[in-house]
Amino acid sequence: MQKQRIISPSILSADFTNLTREIKRIEAAGVTRLHLDVMDGRFVPNITFGPMIVSAIAGLTRCHLECHLMIKDPSAYFEQFIKAGADTVIFHCEASADIAGDLQQLRDKGVRAGLSLKPDTDPDVLIPYLDLLDYVLVMSVYPGFGGQEFISETLINMRKIVELRAGRPFLIGVDGGVNLQTIRQVYETGIDVAIVGSGFFGAGDLQQRHRDLLNA
């Protein structure tokens, strides 16, 4: 039996002048999970949006919202993103002073706890937290911008994390440069969720693109 695959479009590549229409198109394409990239201009050299936009999106959709926090001092903002409607909150291990405490805090507040790693962070960093994780987000580009080229060396990190999971129930997602050309090698590592920004919204027919990405 084939493993379940999930495509989580990154809203960063959508048309922000008409989010209502974009969310309708996304849902009509059969998407059930959405990736929201929060950047603070400090952890990464770019600024995107905060809880206000997350809350606006949450009001428009029934999709599962995964909030990718690329921000310093993430736990200071957990509450705001949860109130805004995030279902999974993902923070960066490189940004946290207390990874176990932060993961536990998210679970205690009733959302899924996700941890993300930059391309050059050793996946072994996850070992102490394996039983506290609901989601691991492996970066396949350096965080900061959509539309970057997939870094093939990160396939090693994906394989390693699938191995570390060893039957545990958490999901593994891959983020950055995933498109019709790169997605097959990503699936081959055994991950569950592919985040697709430019490679999704760049299509004229989103339903067809969603299908093509699932069946690649």
- Name the residues that contact ligand DX5, by CB under 6 A: 10, 12-13, 35, 37, 68, 141, 143-148, 175-178, 195-199
Could you tell me if 174 and 195 are in contact, meaning their C-beta atoms sit under 8 angstroms apart? Answer: yes
**Closer CB to Zn ion, residue 42 or residue 163?**
42
- Concerning whether 124 is annotated as a catalytic residue, the answer is no
Between residue 150 and residue 189, which ones bind Zn ion under the rule CB under 5 A? 175
> Which is closer to Zn ion, CB of 68 or CB of 210?
68
Please report, as a single letter, which amino acid is at residue 48: T
For 9, the 3-state DSSP assignment is strand
Binding-residue total with Zn ion (CB under 5 A) = 3
> Residue 150 carries which DSSP code?
P
Burial 141-166 (b: 16+ CB within 10 A, else e): bebbbbeeebbeebbebbebbbeebe
Region of 64-72, 163-171, 178-186, 202-210 interacting with Zn ion (CB under 5 A): 64-72
Q: What is the nearest approach in angstroms of Zn ion to the Cβ of residue 175? A: 4
Catalytic residue among 37, 40, 102, 192: 37
Tokens (6 digits) for 195:
């985040």
| Residue 37 near Zn ion by CB under 5 A | yes
114 binds, among Zn ion, ligand DX5, none (CB under 5 to 8 A by kind): none
In the complex with Zn ion, the residue whose CB is nearer, 118 or 165, is 118
Q: Is 37 a catalytic residue?
A: yes
- What's the first-to-final CA gap in the chain, in angstroms? 16
The partner in contact with residue 80, picked from Zn ion, ligand DX5, none with C-beta cut-offs of 5 to 8 angstroms by kind, is none
Options 40, 102, 134, 175, the catalytic residue? 175
> In the numeric block, which tokens belong to residue 3?
């493993």
What Cα–Cα distance (Å) separates residue 163 from each residue in 14, 34, 119, 212? 34, 26, 17, 27
Cβ distance to ligand DX5 smaller for residue 123 or 173? 173
CA distance 110 to 127: 23
Smallest gap, in angstroms, from Cβ of residue 167 to Zn ion?
27
| Rounded Cα gap, residues 53 and 56, in angstroms | 5
Residues annotated as catalytic (active site), given as ranges: 37, 175
Return residues touching Zn ion (CB under 5 A).
37, 68, 175
